[in-house]
A and B are shown apart, each in its own frame.
Chain A
Amino acid sequence: MINDDILIVKNLKKYYPVSKISLGKNRAYVKAVDDVSFTIKRGTTMGLVGESGCGKTTVGRTILRLHEVTGGKVMFDGKDLTEVSSRELRKMRPQIQMIFQDPYSSLSPRLPVGEIIGEAVKEHNIVPKDQYRSYILKVMRDCGLQPQYFYRYPHEFSGGQRQRISIARAVALNPKFIICDEPLSALDVSIQAQIINLMKDLQEQYGYTYLFISHDLSVVEYISDTIGVMYLGSIMEMGDKKRIFANPMHPYTKALLSAVPVSNPDVKMNRIILKGDIPSPINPPSGCKFRTRCPNAMPICAKKTPIFKEYEEGHRVACHLYSQD
């Protein structure tokens, strides 16, 4: 039987040592990702949301092994990426691609568009040499880029067009899985809609699986099938998109959803205003990491870390409010 889960992340940890402060024996660490587990079904999109610094980018980068993991497993199509040799990893590279937030710094200014898209295609022999040009042009067409752009340079393009070039570069390698790290955040609303549609069309046509990282809940709601809500390096709630939006269980998810401004002047949100700032990931609060800002915090929340438990099918929550035991 074919395994339907393309990616299984288990107890993923990534700690960065804090270089400046070395506290004698106990070195301080930024616990950027702290015990994160999730799975993504082939051909679906998982949205990863949370405020800046909560560890979304680090999750993406450790999956790709751009950073070595501190602990945990990343099973991609049955292989543990944390254990494969670098040679094997290089061979697998085309299958997992990444699209970045900043379309200005992520494209080499010295290469023409055709080269940017084709560089890795040549390196990995994705198509026979004689088909190379027509292949690149086809990818460009798929991504809404005109053929005459082939010889032009990135600086001649606006943010939206550059993001199309980044997408074309990823797609050209015929990947199975694409990690999209805030691909819309630097773009204007009208351009965002164009790029979302492009990503959806490509997924439909080629069956890509996406991990879509964003702080924008409306965008995530639109594009995702499942959603994970992160806070201070941990996933607080995870599940089917419809469940999360219709029935958010974790107090943080509730606050996050209620904070999104609604484009309707007649709707007055019953807003949960969280107090204070996000604590430092170097020294996160004991027990539940959200407790310092949680409107529902109880004594137990400081003592015990809540377990990440399944309450409905595929709907997991880490919160003491629900775990009466």
Chain B
Amino acid sequence: MGLLKKLKRGKIEGVDNTTYLTLKDERRISKENNKIIKMYEKEKNRKHVPEEEYLTQMRDPSNVVEFDNLHTYFYTDVGTVKSVNGVSFDIPQGKIVGVVGESGCGKSVTSLSLMQLVQGPTGQIVDGSIRYQDKEGKCYEITKMPKDKMLKIRGKDIAMIFQEPMTSLNPVFKIGDQMDEVVLLHTEGATPESAKARSIEMLNLVGIAAVEKIYNSYPHELSGGMRQRVMIAMALSCNPRLIIADEPTTALDVTIQAQILELLREVKEKINGSIMLITHDLGVIAEMVDFVVVMYAGRIIEKGTVQEIFHNPKHPYTIGLMKSRPGSHNITEDRLYSIKGQVPNPINMPNHCYFYNRCDKAMDICSREYPAMIRFSPTHFAACHLYNEDGSDKSEEEKERR
């Protein structure tokens, strides 16, 4: 059979994918990938890395985490997926930062990069830095940190809550045993008795009534909302500085979501920590967060305080997202505003504004250059050609000219 006849399609979730590869192309890609992957893996597996190599300074000491021009790629058989493609934002101490965007835009991969949990060997952080400041004020460059050191931070100082708790709970062990293990792993001098006491204390803290019963249950015996409470209790047991919550309420019903969101807010106050809250729900963002990061196709297209993003959105995508959600404000309109088209193919990203094919404000220049980040305030930024460098709107003539 002719090589060219064998067509294969990339399977990228949620995206129209029309790139066809020949077997020859595939072999070439696979060979190139192997070379790149080997290089990164070698670097990652180094032993006895001296601390100086991964100690660093925060740009702003009031931040817990600083993402700086992060690039995380997946070297797949159908090409390189640039899942996170130049992402920069801060998580200030004691604040909630919301990351919002459509599925596949890179929210989870951003957070997994911070935890050194990007699925290897195909997934690699290829550029940029992630700085993390611990309780003692020591700063680490996560992208260069050896695996064994990272183990001490992950799950202890930085805890995680996922959309589906079942993926992080082991189905064959009782809730209590799993919670105790986390405490034993991360607390110096902990005994089985002290660990159990701590687990019970945490289950109480997250508002679970029949604590002993839950402690002795298996994960599948609990409802979705209860499992999420257990996950939060587990996350809290080591006094984390930062909680990453990836779509923590997406699988829950609204009345249960309301319970869990309230709990997260209380918990944040109690531990005086920060939360990175990933969600696709603008309502959850409006309610919960201090700062908003809007992602589109692997990049940040706008970021700002929650007030700035909701009252003065600048990027046409942000504006479109707000308008396309049915809510009391636009219920009288006969048709709902809708953003046309869909997200571009992540393997062949264009070299111009990624939103160009869907934007109703697009100009000529938008099809030629990727827009720079424009600063509207010390906290508010957006990447769009509609604005001048100083943040003012471009005049009509200027738009025409371009």
Residues on A lying within 8 angstroms of B by beta carbon are 51-52, 155-161, 188-194, 196-197, 200, 215, 217-219, 221-223, 245, 255-256, 258-265, 267, 269, 271, 273-274, 277-278
The residue from B102, B283, B284, B334 contacting A190, defined by CB atoms under 8 A apart: B102
**Does B307 lie at the interface of the complex (its beta carbon under 8 Å from any beta carbon of A)?**
yes
Q: Is the CB of B258 within 8 A of A271?
A: yes
Residues on B lying within 8 angstroms of A by beta carbon are 9, 11, 14-18, 102-103, 223, 225-226, 253-259, 261-262, 280-287, 306-307, 310, 320-322, 324-328, 331, 334-340, 342
Q: Is the CB of B16 within 8 A of A263?
A: no
Q: Is the CB of B254 within 8 A of A215?
A: yes
Beta-carbon nearest neighbor of B292 in chain A: A265
Q: How far is the CB of A205 from chain B (nearest CB, A)?
A: 14
Q: B335: which A residues are within 8 A, CB to CB?
A: 197, 200
Q: How far is the CB of B186 from chain A (nearest CB, A)?
A: 30
Q: Is the CB of A197 within 8 A of B338?
A: yes
Q: How far is the CB of B326 from chain A (nearest CB, A)?
A: 4
The residue from B225, B327, B331 contacting A263, defined by CB atoms under 8 A apart: B327
Q: Is the CB of B255 within 8 A of A196?
A: no
Beta-carbon nearest neighbor of B326 in chain A: A222
In the bound complex, CA of A258 to CA of B283 (Å): 12
Beta-carbon nearest neighbor of B281 in chain A: A261
The residue from A52, A159, A260, A271 contacting B14, defined by CB atoms under 8 A apart: A159
Cross-chain pairs A/B with CB under 8 angstroms, 22 sampled: A51-B256, A155-B11, A156-B16, A158-B16, A159-B14, A160-B342, A188-B280, A189-B325, A194-B340, A218-B326, A222-B326, A245-B328, A260-B254, A261-B283, A261-B286, A262-B283, A262-B327, A265-B287, A265-B306, A273-B259, A274-B255, A277-B256
Q: B282: which A residues are within 8 A, CB to CB?
A: 189, 263
Beta-carbon nearest neighbor of A241 in chain B: B331
Q: B287: which A residues are within 8 A, CB to CB?
A: 261-262, 265, 269
Other than the known A222-B336, A255-B255, A277-B256, what 5 A-B pairs have Cβ atoms closer than 8 Å?
A196-B326, A256-B255, A269-B287, A274-B255, A277-B225
Q: Is the CB of A259 within 8 A of B255?
A: yes
Q: How far is the CB of A143 from chain B (nearest CB, A)?
A: 15
| Known A188-B102, A262-B286; contact A193-B337, beta-carbon cutoff 8 A | yes
In the bound complex, CA of A267 to CA of B328 (Å): 13
Beta-carbon nearest neighbor of B225 in chain A: A277
Q: Is the CB of B14 within 8 A of A158?
A: yes
Q: How far is the CB of B319 from chain A (nearest CB, A)?
A: 12
| Number of A-B residue pairs having CB atoms within 8 Å of each other in the complex | 124
| Known A222-B331, A262-B327; contact A191-B342, beta-carbon cutoff 8 A | yes
Q: Is the CB of A190 within 8 A of B306?
A: no
In the bound complex, CA of A157 to CA of B284 (Å): 29
Q: B340: which A residues are within 8 A, CB to CB?
A: 194
In the bound complex, CA of A52 to CA of B257 (Å): 13
Q: Is the CB of A161 within 8 A of B16?
A: yes
Q: Is the CB of A263 within 8 A of B14?
A: no
The residue from A191, A222, A259, A264 contacting B254, defined by CB atoms under 8 A apart: A259
Q: A188: which B residues are within 8 A, CB to CB?
A: 14, 102-103, 280
The residue from B17, B284, B307, B321 contacting A261, defined by CB atoms under 8 A apart: B284
In the bound complex, CA of A193 to CA of B257 (Å): 23
Q: Is the CB of B324 within 8 A of A264?
A: no
Q: A157: which B residues are within 8 A, CB to CB?
A: 16
In the bound complex, CA of A192 to CA of B323 (Å): 12
Beta-carbon nearest neighbor of A218 in chain B: B326
In the bound complex, CA of A265 to CA of B305 (Å): 10
Q: A271: which B residues are within 8 A, CB to CB?
A: 258, 262
| Known A197-B336, A261-B287; contact A274-B259, beta-carbon cutoff 8 A | yes
In the bound complex, CA of A215 to CA of B249 (Å): 14
In the bound complex, CA of A157 to CA of B256 (Å): 33
In the bound complex, CA of A52 to CA of B254 (Å): 10
Q: A273: which B residues are within 8 A, CB to CB?
A: 255, 258-259, 262
Q: A221: which B residues are within 8 A, CB to CB?
A: 326, 328, 331
Q: B283: which A residues are within 8 A, CB to CB?
A: 260-263
Q: Is the CB of B310 within 8 A of A265?
A: yes
Beta-carbon nearest neighbor of A274 in chain B: B255
Beta-carbon nearest neighbor of B104 in chain A: A188
Q: Is the CB of A192 within 8 A of B324?
A: yes
In the bound complex, CA of A255 to CA of B342 (Å): 35
Q: A191: which B residues are within 8 A, CB to CB?
A: 342
In the bound complex, CA of A265 to CA of B322 (Å): 13
Beta-carbon nearest neighbor of A262 in chain B: B283
Q: A255: which B residues are within 8 A, CB to CB?
A: 255
Residue among A189, A215, A245, A259 with most chain B CB within 10 A: A189
Q: A217: which B residues are within 8 A, CB to CB?
A: 254
Beta-carbon nearest neighbor of B337 in chain A: A193
Beta-carbon nearest neighbor of A264 in chain B: B286
In the bound complex, CA of A221 to CA of B328 (Å): 8
Q: How far is the CB of B280 from chain A (nearest CB, A)?
A: 7
Q: A260: which B residues are within 8 A, CB to CB?
A: 254, 283
Q: Is the CB of B336 within 8 A of A193?
A: yes
Q: A51: which B residues are within 8 A, CB to CB?
A: 253-256
Beta-carbon nearest neighbor of A257 in chain B: B254
Q: Is the CB of A194 within 8 A of B255?
A: no
Q: Which 9 A-B pairs have the closest CB atoms?
A: A261-B283, A222-B326, A193-B338, A193-B324, A51-B253, A188-B102, A259-B258, A190-B339, A259-B254
In the bound complex, CA of A271 to CA of B282 (Å): 18
Q: A219: which B residues are within 8 A, CB to CB?
A: 326
In the bound complex, CA of A86 to CA of B307 (Å): 59
Q: How far is the CB of B373 from chain A (nearest CB, A)?
A: 22
Q: Is the CB of B324 within 8 A of A189?
A: yes
The residue from B15, B286, B310 contacting A158, defined by CB atoms under 8 A apart: B15
Q: B256: which A residues are within 8 A, CB to CB?
A: 51, 277
Q: How far is the CB of B360 from chain A (nearest CB, A)?
A: 12
| Known A260-B283, A271-B258; contact A156-B336, beta-carbon cutoff 8 A | no
Q: How far is the CB of A314 from chain B (nearest CB, A)?
A: 20
